A and B are shown apart, each in its own frame.
Chain A
Amino acid sequence: MFAYTIKRLLTLIPTLFAASVLVFAFIHLIPGDPVAVLLGDTATPEEIAALSAEMGLDEPIYIQYAYWLGNVMQGDLGRSIFFQEPVTRVIADGAETSILLALMTMVWIVVLGVPIGVIAATRHGGWIDQIASGGAMFAASIPTFWLGLYLILIFAVTLGWLPSSGFPSVFDDGGLANLRYLLLPSLTLAAPNSALIIRLVRASMLDVQREDHVRTARAKGLHPAKVALKHVFRNALVAVAAAFGFTFAALISEAVVTETVFSLPGIGRLVVESILRRDYPVIQGVVLVIVCLYLVINLIVDLAYAWLDPRVSLK
Chain B
Amino acid sequence: MTRRSPLLVAAATGLALLLGGTAFADGTMRYASIGEPPSLDQQVGTSDLSTTIAHHVFEGLYTFNGDYAPVPLLASGDTISDDGKTIVISLRDNVTFHNGKHMTSEDVVASLKRWGEFGSRGGLLFANVESVEATGEYEVTLKLTAPFGPWKNLLGFINGGAAIYPSEIAADAGGEPIAPENYIGTGPYKFVEWRPNRHIELARFEDYTSPPGDADGYGGARNAEFDTLQFVPVPDVGTRVSGLRAGDYDYAESIPGDLFEELDADEGVRTILNGGPIFGLVFMNSKEGPLKENFALRRAIQTAIDKVPALQVAIGPEKLWRANGSFLPEGNVWYTDSGIDNFSRGDAEAARAMAEEAGYAGEPIKLMVSTNYPFHYDSAVVYTKQLAEAGFNIDLQVYDWATLIQKRSQPDQWDLFVTHHGFVPDPILISVLNENYPGWWSTPEITELKAAFTATADPAKRQEIWADIQGLIYEQVPTMKTGDVYTYNIASPDLEGLESSTLVWPHFWNVSK
Contact = CB atoms under 8 A, between A and B. Distances in A.
B406 A32 contact: yes
A47 interface: yes
B120 A164 contact: no
Contacts of B179: 84
B248 A83 contact: no
Interface stretch (A33-41, A70-78, A203-211, A225-233): A33-41
Interface in B236-284: 236, 238-239, 242-243, 245-248
A162 B22 contact: yes
B145 interface: no
Interface stretch (B42-50, B75-83, B300-308, B452-460): B42-50
Interface stretch (A17-25, A131-139, A257-265, A306-314): A257-265
A236 B239 CA distance: 40
A215 interface: no
A163 B246 contact: yes
A298 interface: no
A126 interface: no
Contacts of A36: 402, 405-406, 409
A28 interface: no
How many chain B residues sit at the interface, stated as a range, is: 35 or more
A276 B120 contact: no
B401 A276 contact: yes
Interface stretch (A106-114, A117-125, A149-157, A287-295): A149-157
Given A40-B120, A180-B19, A31 B403 contact: yes
A270 B419 contact: no
Contacts, number: 189
Contact of A276 (B236, B372, B421, B434): B372
Interface residues of A, number: 64
Contact of B236 (A40, A45, A84, A263): A263
Nearest to B18: A180
Contacts of A10: none
Interface in B387-431: 399-403, 405-407, 409, 419-421, 431
B121 A42 contact: yes
Contacts of B121: 42
Interface stretch (A48-56, A58-66, A187-195, A241-249): A48-56
Contact of A263 (B39, B232, B436): B232
Contact of B196 (A47, A94, A168): A94
A263 B195 contact: no
A232 B436 CA distance: 73
B364 interface: no
B181 to A, nearest CB: 9
Nearest to B424: A42
A202 interface: no
Interface string B111-136: 00000001011000000000000000
Given A37-B405, A84-B39, A43 B196 contact: no
B475 to A, nearest CB: 24
B445 interface: no
B160 interface: yes
B45 A38 contact: yes
Given A54-B174, A165-B243, A38 B39 contact: yes
A269 interface: yes
Contact of A166 (B45, B198, B401): B198
A67 interface: no
A143 interface: no
A156 B17 contact: no
Given A40-B38, A43-B46, A177-B17, 14 more contacts: A38-B39, A39-B45, A41-B421, A44-B436, A46-B436, A83-B36, A84-B179, A149-B236, A160-B246, A161-B19, A183-B18, A263-B32, A266-B197, A277-B402
7 contacts: A82-B36, A93-B196, A153-B242, A164-B239, A165-B243, A260-B235, A276-B401
